[in-house]
Amino acid sequence: MRTAAKLRLRNGLLFISPWLLGFALFVVYPVGATFYYSFCDYDVLSHPVWLGLQNYRDMLTDTVLWQALGNTLLYAAVSLPLGLALSLGLALLLNQPIVLRPLFRTIFFLPSLVPAVALAMLWLWMFNGQFGLLNIALETFGIKGPIWLGDPAWTKPALVIMSLWGVGGGMIITLAALQEVPRELYESAEIDGARARHKLWHITLPMISPVLYFNLIMGLIGVMQIFAQPYIMFGGNGGPSRSALFYAVYLYENAFTYNDMGYACAMAWILFLIILGLTLIATRATRRHIYYAGKAK
Amino acid sequence: MKIRPLNALLLHVVVLLAGVAFAFPLAWMVLTALKPLEQTMTLPPVWLPHRLYLPDTDPPVEARQVGRFERPMVRIERDDTGETEWVPREYVSGGELRVISSTGEETARFVHVLEEIDASPEAPWYRLRAIHPDGSLGEERLLPADQVTRRISLRWDNFILALRAMRMFPRYLANTVVLCLLTVCGTVISCALVAYGFSRIDWPGRDRLFILALATMMIPFPVVMVPLYGLFRWLGWIGSLKPLWVGAWFAPPFYVFLLRQFFLTIPAALADAARIDGCNEFAIFRRVLLPLVKPALLVVALFQFMATWNDFLGPLIFLTDQRDFTLALGLQYFQSQHGGTEWHYLMAASTVVILPVIVLFFFTQRTFIEGISMTGLKE
């Protein structure tokens, strides 16, 4: 029997060996190296020179970095809740008896498939201050639209609107969860005289809470790393008054434009810690409200 | 579920409005892609691409619109130089043209009025030039909009012209397709193996290691970016496609997670039967399991295809020569060269980048939606 256990261990490790190798090469080595470089002056071309905590100290006084971090947190604080609410709202809508439901599901979902670069191109055009569709639409309601991408006050709202257009993925996940909620729960609630909003609050939302939590965490990890759209639309310097300079964009600039890779590595570690911290806070804050069916908690 | 008629109506109004809002950007992109340049930048907007024809010609001669007037205009001849031009009527009074320069200086010139028209935003006049068979343009003519014949006409050749303007489009496309093939094959093969090891074989420490694999998904790309760049540089791979596909052969954890979810639903009895028949583990994987999980493999292949097709940061960092660019990077490069004016070409090129993704989605819709739904299901 002991040989059978040994054989299983050997086979198991053999099967997962691609991941083990990848883990060593693409996770352990680079994460460790980034940590080391974050204490060094490093430009890839020459050997890293030990600096101690200098990179981290520089970060404290780097006003551009603080602006980028502020932009990123502000953007996240607005786009994440709005995105979650919209994906939930659309999913709830599609869970109702609606004519042409598959068509609407497709219409809501398709934008989330659009590649980031094409997305940026499309919205550069949509947000064009003079001929963009958005301002033309606003004009029909008698509203004079801003110049969006040219106005520091409107660059981040523009990016939020773009992100809302792409909530289709989260919507599909939520919709799938909604369809898993057992019908009997609603039926027995109806017998007890529950109204629609009671059913939503006391049955639907608790039952799909694991998926809402999943969307929250995935959204959080993604939103803190936003790069492609602002980089393509505003370039590496972050557009008017650096209003669209995000953390990952500034990190990229430091690494590949200024060749200050040590500093970029320090920034990367701080980003990692921020994401971990926010994930922890989000988990703590929501833990009591998440209901896992079949698991007594 | 029963629903009151009024609520049902309200529901449909909301879903319809949301649907229009979500559909409009893509529709606007495609419409812009099918317009000639002069119809992209007009106010009010041109909704449907069209061609204009002069009214008094037989057969109708096509004309290009080179401008439009929306307020009363006069054509004047300057007394000093003899030049003629169209100016708003309010600038001319008593044989004098008053022009206020950007510095606020007012100058007056003696002119005399040759003709005038009564254009308004509701009844604009078009400035048109006939398009001759050889492509050259005729004399400018001025016609009230309602006299000009307009026929809807989609400029499909914009696509060809836009791709030609991208110059290396065939290279971009070839690079992207090669990358997609390599990453899809790598991911499907390696992740199937690893997911099998993490779900169908029982060995000590397996689940703890799997949690570790899942946890690595939280690591932001910037944290590994610089050392990977250094590693690939040391290997001499910067400026080649290798950094963009090699990683896929080492089982990205997200896809392992998806496949494992699927593998766990297959009853163990099948494998046990094969084991009793003396099959080794790899044969069970290959002959028993893989045929049963084809839909899951397809989901992983689709997701990886999309990820590679859409990736921007990877190519931006690792590719240096324009000949190696992917479509995503090529499109961005094109925009940086031609952006800001040639919106019709930019939208045509963007449409070309989006189209394969959408076509693929339509052919695999059911699998795709199921796959996405699966990502949200935790154990």
Query: DSSP for B307-370?
Result: HHHH--HHHHHH--SGGG--HHHHHHHHHHHHTTT-HHHHHHHHHHHHHHHHHHHHHTHHHHHH
pLDDT band of residue A297 (cuts 50, 70, 90) is very low
d(CA A174, CA A179): 9
d(CA A22, CA A31): 13
Q: Would the CB atoms of A114 and B357 count as touching at under 8 Å?
A: yes
Distance from CA of A74 to the nearest CA of B (A): 19
Provide the domain limits for residue B317.
168-338
Tally of domains in chain A: 1
Residues B263 and B145 in one domain: no
Could you tell me if B24 lies within 8 Å of chain A, comparing CB atoms? Answer: yes
Per-residue HEC secondary structure of chain A comes to CHHHHHHHHHHHHHHCHHHHHHHHHHHHHHHHHHHHHCCEECCCCCCCEECCCHHHHHHHHCHHHHHHHHHHHHHHHHHHHHHHHHHHHHHHHHCCCCCCHHHHHHHHHHHHHCCHHHHHHHHHHHCCCCCCHHHHHHHHCCCCCCCHHHCCCCHHHHHHHHHHHCCHHHHHHHHHHHHHCCHHHHHHHHHCCCCHHHHHHHHHHHHHHHHHHHHHHHHHHHHCCCCHHHHHHHCCCCCHHHCCCCHHHHHHHHHHHCCCHHHHHHHHHHHHHHHHHHHHHHHHHHHHHCCCCCCCC
Could you tell me if B337 lies within 8 Å of chain A, comparing CB atoms? Answer: no
Mean pLDDT, range B295-307, rounded to an integer: 93
d(CA B285, CA B291): 9
Q: Would the CB atoms of A30 and B228 count as touching at under 8 Å?
A: yes
Q: Would the CB atoms of B251 and A279 count as touching at under 8 Å?
A: no
pLDDT of residue B377: 61
Residues of A in contact with B337 (CB under 8 A): none
Residue B245 lies in a domain: yes
Query: Tokens 């890293």 appear where?
Result: A48
pLDDT above 70 covers a percentage of chain B that reads 98
Residues B186 and B330 in one domain: yes
Calculate the average pLDDT of chain B: 89
Judge contact between B88 and B127, C-beta under 8 A.
no
Residues B279 and B174 in one domain: yes
d(CA A171, CA A161): 16
Report whether pLDDT(B106) > 60. yes
Mean pLDDT, range B3-19, rounded to an integer: 90
Judge contact between B98 and B107, C-beta under 8 A.
yes
Q: Which of B44-53, B301-310, B365-374 has the lowest mean pLDDT?
A: B365-374
ipTM for this prediction: 0.92
Judge contact between A282 and A220, C-beta under 8 A.
yes
Residue A151 lies in a domain: yes
Residue A145 lies in a domain: yes
Residue B120 lies in a domain: yes
Distance from CA of B111 to the nearest CA of A (A): 34
Q: Which of residues 178-207 of B touch A (CB under 8 A)?
A: 190, 193-194, 196-198, 201-204, 206
Query: Tokens 């639309």 appear where?
Result: A233
pLDDT of residue B116: 87
Distance from CA of B360 to the nearest CA of A (A): 11
Residue B148 lies in a domain: yes
Judge contact between A179 and B376, C-beta under 8 A.
no
CATH number at residue A264: 1.10.3720.10
Top-confidence residue, A45 or A222: A222
The closest CB to that of B14, out of A93, A256, A265, belongs to: A93
Residues B328 and B285 in one domain: yes
CATH number at residue B327: 1.10.3720.10
Residues in a beta bridge with B150? B52
Residues of A in contact with B376 (CB under 8 A): 173-174, 176-177, 211, 214-215
d(CA A240, CA A237): 9
Residue A164 lies in a domain: yes
Judge contact between A129 and A244, C-beta under 8 A.
no
Crossing angle for the helix pair A116-126 and B327-338, to the nearest 10 degrees: 30
Residue B248 lies in a domain: yes
Q: Where are the alpha helices (DSSP H) in B200-241?
A: 206-215, 221-234
Residues B300 and B214 in one domain: yes
Distance from CA of B93 to the nearest CA of A (A): 32
pLDDT band of residue B379 (cuts 50, 70, 90) is very low
Q: Would the CB atoms of B201 and A11 count as touching at under 8 Å?
A: yes
Q: Would the CB atoms of A177 and B24 count as touching at under 8 Å?
A: no
Could you tell me if B159 lies within 8 Å of chain A, comparing CB atoms? Answer: no
Residues B202 and B301 in one domain: yes
Report the candidate in B374, B210, B212, B218 with the shortest Cα–Cα distance to residue B298: B374
| Of the residues B84, B118, B153, the one at which a domain ends | B153
Judge contact between A255 and A267, C-beta under 8 A.
no
Distance from CA of B86 to the nearest CA of A (A): 24
Mean pLDDT, range A277-294, rounded to an integer: 86
CA closest to A175 among chain B residues = B373
Compute CA distances A2 → A8, A9, A10, A196, A281, whole Å.
Answer: 10, 11, 12, 59, 45
Mean pLDDT, range B139-164, rounded to an integer: 90
Top-confidence residue, A271 or B342: A271
CA closest to A116 among chain B residues = B310
Residues 6+ apart with CB under 8 A from B165: B334, B338, B342, B345, B349
Q: What is the DSSP letter of B121?
A: S
Residues of B in contact with A275 (CB under 8 A): 218, 220
Residues B193 and B325 in one domain: yes
Could you tell me if B355 lies within 8 Å of chain A, comparing CB atoms? Answer: no
Residues B181 and B314 in one domain: yes
**What SS3 state is found at B105?**
coil
The closest CB to that of B1, out of A5, A97, A174, belongs to: A97
d(CA A186, CA A196): 10
The closest CB to that of A18, out of B204, B249, B350, belongs to: B249
Could you tell me if B353 lies within 8 Å of chain A, comparing CB atoms? Answer: yes
Residue B217 lies in a domain: yes
Tell the burial category of B291 from Cβ atoms under 10 Å away from its Cβ (0-12, 13-18, 19+): exposed
Residues of A in contact with B309 (CB under 8 A): 115
Compute CA distances B220 → A123, B131, B291, whole Å.
Answer: 26, 56, 35
Residue B99 lies in a domain: yes
Per-residue pLDDT reduced to its tens digit, A202-211: 999 999 999 9
Residue A196 lies in a domain: yes
Mean pLDDT, range B239-257, rounded to an integer: 95
Mean pLDDT, range A259-273, rounded to an integer: 96
Distance from CA of B330 to the nearest CA of A (A): 10
Tally of domains in chain B: 2
Residues B145 and B186 in one domain: no
Neighbours of A171 (CB within 10 A): 25
The closest CB to that of A16, out of B197, B222, B312, belongs to: B197
d(CA A132, CA B40): 10
pLDDT of residue A216: 94
| Of the residues B104, B126, B153, the one at which a domain ends | B153
Q: Where are the alpha helices (DSSP H) in B34-68?
A: 37-40
Residues B126 and B178 in one domain: no
Neighbours of B240 (CB within 10 A): 15
Cis amide bond preceding B44, omega within 30 = yes
pLDDT band of residue B245 (cuts 50, 70, 90) is very high
Residues of B in contact with A177 (CB under 8 A): 376
Per-residue pLDDT reduced to its tens digit, A129-179: 888 899 988 988 889 889 999 999 999 999 999 999 999 999 999 999 999
Judge contact between B261 and B300, C-beta under 8 A.
no
Q: Residues in chain A, how many?
A: 297
Residues B71 and B190 in one domain: no
Helix (H) / strand (E) containing B169: helix B169-199
pLDDT of residue A163: 96
| Of the residues B96, B126, B153, the one at which a domain ends | B153
Residue A28 lies in a domain: no
Could you tell me if B13 lies within 8 Å of chain A, comparing CB atoms? Answer: no
Q: Would the CB atoms of B201 and A176 count as touching at under 8 Å?
A: no
Residues B56 and B146 in one domain: yes
Could you tell me if B211 lies within 8 Å of chain A, comparing CB atoms? Answer: no
Provide the domain limits for residue A216.
54-289
Q: What is the token pair recorded at B138? A: 């005729």
Residue B143 lies in a domain: yes
Calculate the average pLDDT of chain A: 92
Report whether pLDDT(B270) > 90. no
Rounded to a whole number, what is the distance in angstroms from the first to the last CA of chain B? 30
Residue B8 lies in a domain: no
Q: What angle do CA A107, A112, A115 make, to 5 degrees?
A: 125
d(CA B317, CA B311): 11
pLDDT of residue A296: 41
Q: Would the CB atoms of B223 and A272 count as touching at under 8 Å?
A: yes
